[in-house]
Amino acid sequence: MSSTVFDSFLFRDMFGTPAMREIFSDAAYVRRIIDTETALARAQASVGIIPTEAADRITSGADFDGLDLDRLRAETEIVGYPVLPIIKQVADQCGDAGGYLHWGATTQDIMDTAVMLQCKQGVALLGDQLDRVRRALQRLAEEHVDTVTAGRTHLQHALPVTFGYRCAVWLSALDRHAERLEQARERALMVQFGGAAGTLASLGEGPEGLRARAALAAELGLRDPAITWHVARDGLVELVSLFAAIGGSLGKIAWDVMMMCSSEFGELAEPFVPGRGASSTMPQKRNPISSELMFAAAKLLRDKSSSLLDAMMQDFERATGPWHLEWAAVPEAFLLLSSSLHQAEFMLSGLEVNVDRMRQNTHITGGLIVAEAVMMDIAPVLGRQRAHDVVYEACRTAIETGTSLETQLLDHADLVSRLGAERIGQLCDPARYLGSATTMTRMVIKAPDRGPSDSRR
């Protein structure tokens, strides 16, 4: 039976996606190990280390479907790693050529490279998902570039902003994450081939070992590093730490959306699907389920990043345990981020925006949200300190009497005589105090490259 949310038939699509689970499935992992072994044979044949006929036979003979998986599972538990049990069975499939299988390699070479192949597929999938979320946010920002809403600091009204501006702030972070993901893809996805202690000593002191590694990297579409990285785990740390950061940005979006969905705000609602977010006892409930899952994923991703940082501290040329942390944390990090991006795309693509409620909410403090606007405008008339005192007193009185800032300002005869009632009314309109919010929003909206990248496919 299932024991975690990642393999649970109830919860697995809330903490992962089918496509990402397939990439990191046991079957896919074993296939990537076989892909690595056959590619290694071809690479070594290309530089004259093993016979070409042997490489051809290994490539054609290695067959996942011919493996005895029960035997493989049992032997993996005994050995502690799956590579030797796989080699035994694949070597049998390849006849005499099987003697050249895994030539000069060590278990970690094969396992690390297999994981890199999984990561390569996983990063491509995440990149496409991130692009779709960015496009959804771009549409929201463009649609609501002029939708006035309350800007909040310390959970209190601060100054007016637009909902498009808020979406553009969210989007700007994801745009930067997309750049980071592409940079990490180029830097972190490295082939591994160094032999027992990483020195390729079993292949001699000539250039053949390094030439074989370069050929292996080319075969698999991975980077050829300058030196073996058995105990230099920064590549995987970079990926998972970046996933945690992306998850954190998605969690920030989720937190804002959840608060704006609250009954007191009433400004947003997640897409309506019959029964989604329903309560077993309260028929009126429409809980922000996608946002809640994004928020949970952000916290779990932080834990995965912490585990990978722990796994960096490895002894000498081969670790005595930290490596194993990656086996659990890396697939789960991919699953969590894939799930969060899936939930974000669904939620943002169908987000219900209550424009009228947003505008109404800017007035719930009786116009105090534009106190700075009034003060800055009347400062040239009354002087800065006098303007501050007048507006401060008007705000205090408005709060105590339950009236509005405009009402109190209109009671100030000197101010009315200098500005006029119409100008005071204009100053108290939140839509007239947005600064450069609209300009900055349009700049983010126009940023290029939010489509699928051919380099990730």
Span 258-297, pLDDT tens digits:
999 999 999 999 998 765 554 445 445 578 999 999 999 9
Q: What distance in Å separates the CA atoms of residue 181 and residue 185, rounded to the nearest whole number?
A: 6
Catalytic residue among 25, 279, 324, 455: 279
Tokens linked to 456 = 């990730």
Task: Report the C-alpha gap between 455 and 450 in whole angstroms.
Answer: 13
The two three-digit tokens of residue 117, written as one number: 């192949």
Q: Are 351 and 323 in contact (CB under 8 A)?
A: no
As given in the structure block, the two tokens for residue 245 are 């950061």
The domain defined by 368-427 folds into: Ribonucleotide Reductase Protein R1; domain 1 (1.10.40)
Tens digit of each residue's pLDDT (9 = 90 or more) over 219-236 = 999 999 999 999 999 999
At residue 254, does pLDDT exceed 70?
yes
Alpha carbons 248 and 235: distance in angstroms, whole number? 20
Cα–Cα distance for residue pair 382/388, rounded to 1 Å: 9
- CA 445 vs CA 144, 245, 439: distances in Å: 11, 22, 10
Band of residue 310 on the pLDDT scale cut at 50, 70, 90: very high
pLDDT at position 455 over 50: no
Coil, helix or strand at residue 352:
strand
Please give the CATH number for the structural domain made up of 16-105+196-228: 1.10.275.10
Per domain, the residue ranges of the chain are 16-105+196-228, 115-190+232-362, 368-427
3-state secondary structure of 269: strand
Size of the chain, expressed as the number of residues it contains: 457
pLDDT digits (tens, 9 = 90+) for 376-396: 888 888 888 988 888 889 889
Q: In the annotation, is 154 catalytic?
A: yes
Which tokens is 375 given? Answer: 């003060």
Phi, psi torsion values for 161, nearest 5 degrees: -135, -170
Mean pLDDT estimate for the chain: 91
Closest-CA residue to 352 (of 268, 238, 263, 440): 268
* Catalytic choice (154, 263, 280, 417): 154
CATH class, domain 115-190+232-362, is mainly alpha
Please list the residues that pair with 353 across neighbouring strands: 268
Q: Return d(Cα 430, Cα 1) in angstroms, integer.
A: 57
Alpha helices, DSSP H, located in 262-401: 289-311, 322-349, 355-361, 371-382, 384-401
| pTM to 2 decimal places | 0.91
Across-strand partners of 153? 156
412 annotated active-site: no
CB 337 within 8 A of CB 15: no
Distance between CA 55 and CA 38 in Å, rounded?
7
Closest CA relative to residue 308, chosen from 248, 250, 243: 243
Tokens of 45: 């044949």
Tokens representing 447 are 């940023």
Least confident of 86-100, 190-204, 210-224, 272-286: 272-286
What beta strand segments (E) does 41-165 contain? 148-153, 156-162
